[in-house]
Amino acid sequence: MSKKSAGKQSRAAAIVGAALLIAAGGLVWYFYPAQDSGLDILRADLSQAEPSVALRIRAASAAVKSEPGSSKAWGRLGIVFETHGFLVEAVACYEQAQTLDPADPDWPYFLGICRRTGDNEAAMRDFQRAAELKPDYAPLQVNLGEALARLDRFDEAEACYRRAAELDETCAPARAGLGRVALARGDFESAAEQLGQAVRMAPEYQQAHRLLAQAYRRLGDSAAAARETELAERGEPNAPLRDSVRNALWLEEGVSFKWRTLRAAHHIKNGQPEKAMAEWQQAVRDDPKLAKAHLEIGVLNAAAGRIPDAIAAYQEAIRIDTDLTAARNNLGVLLVQTGRIDQGLEQLRLAAEAMPDGIEAQFNYGLALQRANQPQPAVGVFRKVVEADPHRPGAYDQLGIALTNLGRFAEAIAEFKKGIKALPDELAMANRLAWLLAACPQKDCRNGKQAVALAQRLCAVDGFKSPILLDTLAAAHARVGDFDAAVRTAGQAIDLIGRAGVDARARLANRLPGLQARLELYKSGRPYQGPP
């Protein structure tokens, strides 16, 4: 873990700490005598800090100056500093808080967290003192166990991990710690057992998966080791330690852009977009020039269907930062969706040029070109997408559509077939292939037998309940000369549209006249060729 991180419990804390120390260059501290108390009060140069961070630090510093004998005031100032990555300053505050109230377990606990990467022995002593004062707190026992394990004091570490597991049966880091101790002792079966419990409790626990991979390798199970290594690559880097004492404080005190990002993501995950919006709106109030905050406001507005507000937010983000490609991309998509094709196309072109390797930006630009009836450049864009990521949903489909619109049917069929191999679950793309095989205007591209086989398979997946898929199957039957089946299948499709709900009928309204015309064609013993 980085020395600049605010704590192992939160990935965002680590990111925030590193970012702020780089941005602010640290805080320059000096002491001056308080005229009314005789104590030295810390002061800091906050000229390089984020405005919201500087304001929070000044407020907490003012509370210390007002009550220099208050351990809570000193502790809160330490929390503010640690939350925003200033660990040296936090340690000074926590030490003062501990001096003023040696019976409070929070201060040695927080000191241990701050010191553990720079001075593990000192951190271990801090955790021991905190555990003496608060022996029944599982996260503290885990942190003490980790400090002891780093000193190769495995018997004591094991006792801490077991105590944590007793206090919280669902504590995955406690199980992982027991597994780590077992690995160090060469007891690989016990290690696998404990680490297996840890990853079952926390499936995204990266370090537990890595340790479990080590245990399996030592046991000679290379397949299981490879599986755990792969899971570790997709996992979360921080231990899932539910530390209510610290986490609530950091969420309350964190006011930097990084902390608002963390909280907004937390609210979105919990289905509370309005709270996420409040975070970004406060970020804009703190600093109106935060282009990324305007971008996030746009994303939330778009998700809520407030399209004009989303467009305005994206435009403001771009005004502040013309290189913010995500805002340009999102703005282009909304402009195209609302019928402002030329404006949207220009924004998406700029986004694609700024991100030549950005698959989503390229894909969205290709869609806009399709919408603007420019299939020729769209083909080039979608070819780049499928070359970069053959499994990108919709890429082969859109490439095939563009080629079809250009009348390059053989190429379109070839790309659709590649797409089906790469993405076998894309029914719409497979249906387009089946239609071309059944009704392509170019004779040498048609293959009725293949069309029937593919269309039947697609209809079976849908339970023969999709009018669109049945329309394709009817065309395929007609192509091989089975007009009775074609008439029956087209009639079934028309019947389904008639019995569909209001919304479904509205979506299929444009399809119905063509389907009815094709039915009459099949009744006369003639197949259909052309677009659906």
Query: Residue 369: which pLDDT band, with cuts at 50, 70 and 90?
Result: very high
Say which residue, 156 or 88, is predicted with more confidence: 156
Taking 90 as the threshold, does the pLDDT of residue 85 lie above it? no
Q: Are 388 and 359 in contact (CB under 8 A)?
A: yes
Report the C-alpha gap between 85 and 95 in whole angstroms: 17
**Where are the alpha helices (H) located in 256-290, listed in sequence order?**
257-269, 273-286
Query: Residue 45: which pLDDT band, with cuts at 50, 70 and 90?
Result: low
Backbone angles phi, psi at 4, to 5 degrees: -90, 0
Closest to 405 in 3D by CA, of 444, 437, 434, 378: 378
Q: Are 122 and 115 in contact (CB under 8 A)?
A: yes
* pLDDT score at 43: 64
**Residues 344-368: pLDDT tens digits?**
999 999 999 999 889 999 999 999 9
Residue 380 makes CB contacts below 8 A (sequence gap 6+) with: none
Q: Are 329 and 351 in contact (CB under 8 A)?
A: yes
**Is 414 exposed, middle or buried, given 0-12, 13-18 or 19+ CB atoms closer than 10 A?**
middle
Query: In DSSP terms, which residues pair with 29 in a beta bridge?
Result: 44
**Coil, helix or strand for 243?**
coil
**Residues 430-471: pLDDT tens digits?**
999 999 999 999 999 999 999 999 999 999 998 999 999 999
**Mean pLDDT, the chain, whole residue set:** 90
The distance between the two most distant Cα atoms of the chain, rounded to a whole number of Å, is: 105
Query: Residue 42: which pLDDT band, with cuts at 50, 70 and 90?
Result: low
Report the C-alpha gap between 82 and 13 in whole angstroms: 9
* pLDDT score at 279: 95
Report the C-alpha gap between 44 and 61 in whole angstroms: 9
Q: Which residue has the tokens 């003062």?
A: 96
Which long-range contacts link 515-519 to residues 24+ away (Cβ below 8 Å)?
515/467, 515/471, 515/490, 518/471, 518/474, 518/475, 518/478, 518/490, 519/474, 519/487, 519/490, 519/491, 519/494
CA end-to-end span of the chain, whole Å? 59
